[in-house]
Amino acid sequence: MGRGCTRHVHDHHRRPRVSRKRHWLMKTEPDAFSIDDLKRVVTEPWNGVRNYQARNHMRQMQPGDGVLFYHSSCEVPAIVGTATVASEPYPDPTQFDPKSDYYDAKSTRAEPRWSLVDVKFDRKLKRAIPLEEIKRHGDALGEGFALTQRGSRLSVMPVTAAQWKLLLSLE
DNA sequence: GCCAACGTTGGC
DNA sequence: GCCAACGTTGGC
């Protein structure tokens, strides 16, 4: 993909230059990478996502989008902070690294299979909002919300403006 | 293209 | 640590 490519080739991958901020929720296991880790490093490439639905969501992200930072597989699964999308989506470099746990032999540099964005620390919530509490607002959040959907394991999901507002109002 | 087997996620 | 639910793989 060279600089010579005409612009219109790529235009359909982008949303309009001026478009509304979107919202997302991203899960992480705090033992592996927590909100405190993000606070310390400030910006983190969100590598290692190997699920197509989650990947597709990341491919729709753009700088400035809001992220609810969620701790999973831990004592109290909860939303613990907010972050900001800090880059356009780009190929996850770990997919090309044979030494990486996330190496994907079937991915090529010409057609990378996995994408990521950089995620930037925004703030820790004054208190964590536990999944158990979030579930009590299931009706208001709607049945389509993957976090509270039975059996859903989606690690990157869209959040509507209304859901964002509601969830943060619980803080 | 079906589907059994397997691996993973993640709440509990 | 258990296990339900889900996604992926690969034989046929």
Dump pLDDT digits (tens) for A119-171.
Answer: 999 999 999 999 999 999 999 998 889 999 988 999 999 999 999 999 999 99
**Domains by residue range for chain A, with CATH:** 20-169 (3.10.590.10)
Tell me what pLDDT residue A6 has.
42
Chain C: nucleotides under 7 Å from a protein CB?
4-8
Confidence band of A20 (pLDDT split at 50, 70, 90): confident
Name residues 139-158 of chain A with a Cβ under 7 Å from nucleic strand C.
150-153
**pLDDT tens for residues A100-115?**
999 998 899 999 999 9
* C-alpha count within 13 angstroms, C-beta hemisphere, residue A27: 20
Q: What is the mean pLDDT of chain A?
A: 90
Distance CA A152, CA A135 (A): 13
Task: Find and list the nucleotides of strand B having atoms within 7 Å of a protein beta carbon.
Answer: 8-12
Q: CA of A121 and C1' of C8: distance in angstroms? A: 33
